[in-house]
A and B are shown apart, each in its own frame.
Chain A
Amino acid sequence: MSPVIQGIITIIIGVGGCVGYFYFANLLVDRVIFPQRDIAAGTTGMRRTIGRIGLGILLLLLLLVMFAGSLPDALAQIPAAIGSALAAFVSILLSAAEALSFGVEWLGMLLSLAVYLVLFVVVVGGLITLIGFAITAPGTATTGDNINRANQMRPWLFLFPAMFALGLYLMYPVVGSFIRSLYDRAGTDYVGLGNYVRLFNNPDFRTAFFNNILWALVVPAMATFMGLVIAQLTDRLRWGNIAKSLVFMPMAISFVGASLIWKFVYAQDPDIGIINAIRQFFGAEEGIDPLQIPFWNNFLLMAILIWIQTGFAMVILSAALRGIPEETVEAAIIDGANPFQVFFKIKVPQIMGTIVVVWTTITILVLKVFDIVYTMTGGNFGTEILPSFMMDFMFRDDGQATAVAFVIMVVVLPVMIWNIVQARKEMR
C-alpha cells in the first residue's frame, strides 16, 4: 500500500476514532445508561444488579490473573480459558472478514480493521455501561435525575482517553523505572536501594549532582533576569522588535547546534575562538582551552543555555509587562517613584506570578539538559551533570541509569508542582 494512503488511513482512523469515541460514548450515556425519560424503581434496581455483577466478575477475573500462582490449578485456569475462548471468537470474526474480502488485500485489511474497531467499541462501551449501571441510584429515576447524572458522568467520559494515555505512557514508565532501579545491572537480582547507595558513594555522581544544582540556580536566574531587563528595555524602542527577534532566535536552534556554535566561540585557535582572539589582542602568547578551566568551565556551558533561554523569558515577560495597566505606572510617577522604583516596586511585583512560571519552567528544562554537556565536553573536566551522567550508564548498567533518572525526577518534582500551581494561579 502506498505510504500516502497509509497516512490518510491513519489520519482517518485517528480523527474518526476520537470523534467516534466521544459521539458514541455520549450516545451511550444519554440514551442507554441515563435515558432521558423516567425509569421505574424496579428497572433501576435491575440495572444496579446487572452493573454490580458485571463489574464484580471483571474484578474477580483480575484478581484471578494477579494471584494465579498461589491458587489451585482449576481456578487459575479460568482466565486463560476465557482468554482463549475470546481469542477463538476474534479469530472466527477475522477469518470471516478474510473470507468476505474475496482475496482483495486492501478489503481484507479494512474489514479486519473494522472488526478490531467494533471490538474496541464493545469493550469500552461495555465498560462504560457497566460502570453507569453500577452507579445507578436506587428508587425511581425521573428524567431530570437522569439528565443530571449524565452530566455528572460526562467530564469523566471526556477525560478517560487522556487519563488512559497518560497512565500508560507516563505513570507506567515512572513506576517501571523505579522498580528497575531496585534491580542489579542485568535486571535479574533484587538489590533494594543498592543502586542508590552506590550512586551517592560515587564521587562522579556527587560532582554531577553539585553541578546540576549550580545549573538549576544560575541558568534560570540569569535567563529570567536578562529576559526581564531586555523586555523592559526594548519595550518603547522603535527597533525594539528587531532586537527582540534577534534575542529570540537562539530558541529556534537545537541544543546540539547551539553547542557547535559555541565551540567556535571557545575554540583554542585565536583565529576561530573569540575568547582567545581577545587574549591575543591583549598580548597573550599561548591559546588556552576555556573548556578545560576547572569549575569555571561549568559556567561557560551554562552561558549556552542562558543564550538560548533568554529569548523565551523575554517573550513571555514582555507580554506580561504589556499587560500591566498603564495607570498604575502613571500613579506611581505622580507618587514620586523614579524609573527604577517604577520598574522594581510597581512593575515587577505585578508580574511576579509570570516571573515564577518562567523561572520554574526554565528550571525544569535545565534539569533535563544533556545535549550541551555531551556535545561540548562529554562530561569531562568536571562538567558532568545528572542527565549526562545517566547517559554514561545507559545500556551498560540500566539499574544505575534508572536510579539516576529517578533522582532527577525527585529533584524536578517540587519545582514542577510549584510551576503548575503558579501557572494555574496566573490563569485565574
Chain B
Amino acid sequence: MSDLVLKDVRKSYGDAKVIHGVDLEIRDGEFVVFVGPSGCGKSTLLRMIAGLESITGGDVVIGGEQVNDIAPADRGIAMVFQSYALYPHKDVYGNMAFALRHAGEDKAVIDERVKKAADILGLDALLKRKPKELSGGQRQRVAIGRAIVRDPEIFLFDEPLSNLDAALRVQMRVEILRLHQRLKTTMIYVTHDQVEAMTLADRIVVLRDGRIEQVGTPLELYHHPKNHFVAGFIGSPKMNFLACDRVGDGTQVTAHGSAPITVLVKPRDAAGPFTLGVRPEHVDLVEPGQGQLDGTILVAERLGGETFLHVDLGDSEPFVVKADGNVRYVSGDPVGLSFPSDALHLFDANGDAFEHVERHALIA
C-alpha cells in the first residue's frame, strides 16, 4: 500500500498536447475516480501512472519513489482493462498465475495466492476454464483476480465495467466497492459514468481537455462545483442553466424577467453575463404565478417513482424538473417554478462559480 503523487505531469504526442500539467496527491488506501468526457485524457493519465505511456514532463511518485523510468512491472501497480485483456490461450488459473510465474515465485506460493484470490472473487469452480468459456462478469472477475494476485500497492481500473450490461454493472460496482473495503489498497478508477464515480469514489477527479477541473469528495462536487463544467457533468439529469442578470447587492438575480431570486453566495466582482445553475431535484413546482418563473410542460418522462418534466422557458434547451411520480402532469399545462435559494449556483462569464455562503451540512 502506498500513496501516489503526480507533479505537473504532462503528455504530448509530437505537437499535440494531451495532458497539460496535472498535480494530484492520492493518499494511501484512497479510492480515487478519474471522470470526464471521452478524450479528456483520463485514460492517458492512468496509463502514464501504469507506465504504458511515457511521461513527457513532470514526475509520477509512488510511495516516495519517482517511477518515471521504472518498468510497469516494477512500479507496484496492477491494472484491469476495459476489454478484460485476458490471455485467451491460458485458463483462469494460468491467467492469474502469469505474473507470479514471471516473478519466479515458488509454485506453492503461486498456488496459495491464486487460490486465495479465486476465493475472494468466487472463481474457485472456474479455475480450469478458458476465458472464452466465461461470461462477461466472470471474465471481469478474472481480470480483477489477476490484479489481486500480484498484491499491488495501487490498483488501476480502466473503465472496467463499460463492457458489461446494466444489471451486471451494478452488481460488479458493489463488488469492487467491497473489494476495496476488504483490501484497503489504493485504487484509481477511470470511468465516464458519473454514477460509478459518485458511488465508488472517496474522491473524484474531474478532468477536461487534459486539465483537472476539480478534485473533491462526491458530495463536494455535487453541492459545491467549482465551475460550470463540473456542475453540468456531475448529477443526473444534468443541472439546468439559465442566463441571468445580477440585481441589488449581487446576491439576487433575475432570469427571463423573473422576480428577483436570492442566491446564497458570497458576492464578488465579476464580469457578466452570469449563469444561474439549478439541479432538477432542487426546483419546487407551484401553481402558475406563485413561483419566480412560469413555463409550460413539453414532455413528462414517467419513471414510476418520479417524473422528469421538461419545461419550456423559451430557451433552446428545456428546463428539467424532478417531480412526484404520483401526480398527473399533462403536456402543454402551465407550471410555476420556485427556486430555494440555498441550492442555487451562480457562475460568472468564465464559468467560475461564486462561493456559497455556507458549506453543505454533510461536508466537513
Contacts and interface: CB of A to CB of B under 8 A. Distances in A.
Given A327-B81, A341-B102, A334 B87 contact: no
B72 A328 contact: no
A330 B81 contact: yes
Contacts of B222: none
Contacts of A352: 89
B141 to A, nearest CB: 15
Interface string B74-106: 100111011111111110000000110011000
Interface residues of B, number: 26
Interface string A308-348: 00000000000000000101101111111100010000100
A349 interface: yes
Given A336-B73, A336-B102, A336-B103, A331 B89 contact: no
A331 B103 contact: no
A334 B89 contact: no
Contacts of B82: 327
Contacts of A334: 50-52, 72-73, 77-79, 99
Interface residues of A, number: 16
- Determine chain A's interface SS by DSSP, over half rule: helix
B150 interface: yes
A346 B74 CA distance: 19
A350 interface: yes
Nearest to A335: B99
B336 to A, nearest CB: 53
A333 B52 contact: yes
Contact of A336 (B52, B83, B87, B99): B99
Contacts of B90: 349
A68 B146 CA distance: 75
B102 A331 contact: no
A335 B85 CA distance: 12
A63 to B, nearest CB: 53
B98 to A, nearest CB: 5
B72 A333 contact: yes
B98 A335 contact: yes
Contacts of A349: 87, 89-90
Contacts of B73: 333-337
B88 A331 contact: no
A339 to B, nearest CB: 11
Given A325-B83, A327-B85, A349-B89, A335 B52 contact: no
Nearest to A352: B89
Nearest to A331: B85
A330 B90 CA distance: 16
B150 A335 contact: yes
Nearest to A334: B72
B170 to A, nearest CB: 24
Contacts of A335: 73, 98-99, 102, 146, 150
Contacts of B102: 335-337, 341
B78 to A, nearest CB: 7
A162 to B, nearest CB: 33
A21 to B, nearest CB: 41
Nearest to A346: B87
B145 to A, nearest CB: 13
Given A335-B98, A336-B103, A327 B89 contact: no
A328 B99 CA distance: 13
Contacts of B88: 328, 350
Nearest to B147: A334
Given A331-B79, A337-B73, A350-B89, 20 more contacts: A325-B85, A327-B82, A327-B84, A327-B85, A328-B88, A330-B85, A331-B85, A333-B72, A333-B73, A334-B50, A335-B150, A336-B99, A336-B102, A337-B98, A337-B102, A346-B87, A349-B89, A350-B87, A350-B88, A352-B89
11 contacts: A325-B83, A327-B81, A328-B86, A331-B146, A333-B71, A335-B98, A335-B99, A336-B102, A336-B103, A337-B102, A349-B90
